[in-house]
């Protein structure tokens, strides 16, 4: 293999730049040329492709976002779009591809593999919702952004003696809510993986209030419920003055944490190793701190499982 490509796709996540850097530098270290594909699969279809040099990825390891830009591309869901992509790769003499993104991006990577194009996936999403890896690139940074926000909200919650509902991202996964809620001592955490009973939530709040607790923090995963709706119910039914904060896209930006930079560097370099070893059709990941790889078929077949023991622990600690 003499020339590979790299693209980022789907929602950006902090650490994607560090992963691009690792792919480019690892490949060049092995005398392989690297081409950057801009705007994800959309750029692959349209041929928005340029050669990257060692210097192209200088000064980006600490930056959020992705220097290759990203997009969600409907056309690439069609066979016609996928074949156009393969054609462009061949036109540029690219023999292998690294796709950095979440499970939607891996669906596209799997399709490329099925069309006979060697592709390796690197998990980059703040949601931490990919099976086959303990952590995805960007999760740790998003988590720290959420914690910083909740700490600030806690100051005003204490001063005003109010209840705060904080809605966090995660799509269908509760990892951001669970980890941030546990790290911030939230009274209640609502996640899509566990059914909740609003009466229980109100009961817990009331119990705390009767015990002399003057403020509360409730973290809601966007996949579990609407923070605004939960806030309305608490305000009306528990009679507690409640405010709602939807953290939104602030969670996707910012300089990646050390942990995300290291993870991205390890996974990006490992993806290149797999391509060079002829082991495409796989995603890379980290499990128990070891680098691992799984076929796209396996990775996409199994649902990501959140650690339910952590959820139970959060309940025990927030009595």
Which contacts (CB < 8 Å, 24+ apart) does range 222-226 have? 222/167, 222/168, 222/169, 222/170, 222/171, 223/170, 223/171, 223/172, 223/173, 223/174, 223/191, 223/192, 224/174, 224/177, 224/190, 224/191, 224/192, 224/196, 225/190, 225/196, 226/167
Pull the structure tokens for residue 38.
Answer: 């801009």
Based on CB atoms, which residue is closest to ligand F6P, 172 or 194? 172
Pull the structure tokens for residue 114.
Answer: 């099925």
171 contributes a contact to ligand F6P by CB under 6 A: yes
Nearest to 13 by CA among 74, 68, 52, 76: 68
Among 33, 95, 127, 187, binds ligand F6P (CB under 6 A): 127
Question: Helix H segments across 69-220?
Answer: 79-91, 103-114, 139-160, 175-183, 198-210
Based on CB atoms, which residue is closest to ligand F6P, 187 or 222? 222
Q: Going residue by residue from 33 to 62, which x/- string records binding to ligand F6P, judged by CB under 6 A? A: ------------------------------
Is 127 considered catalytic here? Answer: yes
- Per the rule left: phi > 0, alpha: psi between -120 and 50, beta: everything else, 31 is left
Nearest to 168 by CA among 232, 252, 247: 247
Question: Which residue out of 12, 103, 127, 129 is catalytically annotated?
Answer: 127
145 contributes a contact to ligand F6P by CB under 6 A: no
Shortest separation between residue 169's beta carbon and ligand F6P, angstroms: 3
User: Which listed range, 116-124, 166-174, 181-189, 197-205, lies at the site for ligand F6P (CB under 6 A)?
Assistant: 166-174
Based on CB atoms, which residue is closest to ligand F6P, 71 or 198? 71
124 contributes a contact to ligand F6P by CB under 6 A: no
Among 169, 230, 283, 306, binds ligand F6P (CB under 6 A): 169
Residue given tokens 């740790």 in the structure block:
140
Instruction: Output phi, psi for 304, to 5 deg.
Output: -65, 135
Instruction: Output phi, psi for 109, to 5 deg.
Output: -65, -35
In angstroms, the CA 113 to CA 216 distance is 49
> How many chain residues interact with ligand F6P (CB under 6 A)?
10
Touching ligand F6P, residues 76-105 (CB under 6 A): 102
In angstroms, the CA 149 to CA 162 distance is 16
DSSP-derived secondary structure for 186-209:
-SEEE-TTS---HHHHHHHHHHHH
137 contributes a contact to ligand F6P by CB under 6 A: no
Shortest separation between residue 251's beta carbon and ligand F6P, angstroms: 7
Touching ligand F6P, residues 195-224 (CB under 6 A): 222
Shortest separation between residue 235's beta carbon and ligand F6P, angstroms: 25
Shortest separation between residue 11's beta carbon and ligand F6P, angstroms: 3
Pull the structure tokens for residue 185.
Answer: 């001592």
26 contributes a contact to ligand F6P by CB under 6 A: no
User: Which listed range, 53-61, 167-175, 292-300, 310-318, lies at the site for ligand F6P (CB under 6 A)?
Assistant: 167-175
Based on CB atoms, which residue is closest to ligand F6P, 111 or 252? 252
Among 8, 9, 88, 125, binds ligand F6P (CB under 6 A): 125
Query: Which residues does the annotation mark as catalytic?
Result: 127
Instruction: Kindly list the residues in this chain that would bind ligand F6P in the complex (CB under 6 A).
Output: 11, 102, 125-127, 169-171, 222, 252
């Amino acid at each position: 293999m003499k020339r590979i490509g790299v693209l980022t796709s789907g929602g950006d996540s902090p650490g994607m730049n560090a992963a691009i850097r690792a792919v480019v530098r690892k490949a060049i270290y092995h005398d392989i040329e690297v081409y950057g594909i801009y705007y994800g699969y959309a750029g692959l279809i349209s041929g928005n492709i340029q050669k990257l040099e060692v210097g192209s990825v200088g000064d980006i390891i600490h930056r959020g976002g992705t220097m290759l830009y990203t997009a969600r591309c409907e056309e690439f869901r069609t066979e016609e779009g996928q074949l156009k992509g393969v054609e462009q790769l061949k036109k540029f003499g690219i023999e292998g591809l690294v796709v950095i993104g979440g499970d939607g991006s891996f669906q596209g990577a799997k399709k490329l593999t099925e069309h006979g194009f060697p592709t390796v996936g690197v998990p980059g999403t703040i949601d931490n919702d990919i099976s086959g890896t303990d952590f995805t690139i960007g999760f740790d940074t998003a988590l720290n952004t959420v914690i910083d926000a909740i700490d600030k909200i806690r100051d005003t919650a204490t001063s005003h003696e109010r209840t705060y509902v904080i809605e966090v991202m995660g799509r269908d996964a509760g990892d951001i809510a669970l980890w941030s809620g546990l790290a911030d001592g939230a009274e209640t955490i609502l996640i899509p993986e566990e059914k909740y009973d609003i009466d229980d939530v109100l009961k817990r709040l009331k119990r705390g209030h009767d015990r002399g607790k003057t403020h509360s923090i409730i973290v809601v995963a966007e996949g579990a419920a609407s923070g605004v709706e939960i806030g309305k119910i608490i305000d009306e039914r528990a009679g507690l003055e409640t405010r709602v904060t939807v953290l939104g896209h602030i969670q996707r930006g910012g300089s990646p944490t050390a942990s995300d930079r290291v993870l991205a560097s390890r996974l990006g370099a490992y993806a290149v190793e797999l391509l060079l070893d002829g082991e495409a059709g796989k995603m890379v990941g980290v499990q128990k701190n070891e680098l691992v790889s799984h076929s796209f078929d396996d990775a996409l077949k199994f649902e990501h499982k959140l650690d339910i023991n952590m959820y139970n622990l959060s309940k025990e600690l927030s009595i």
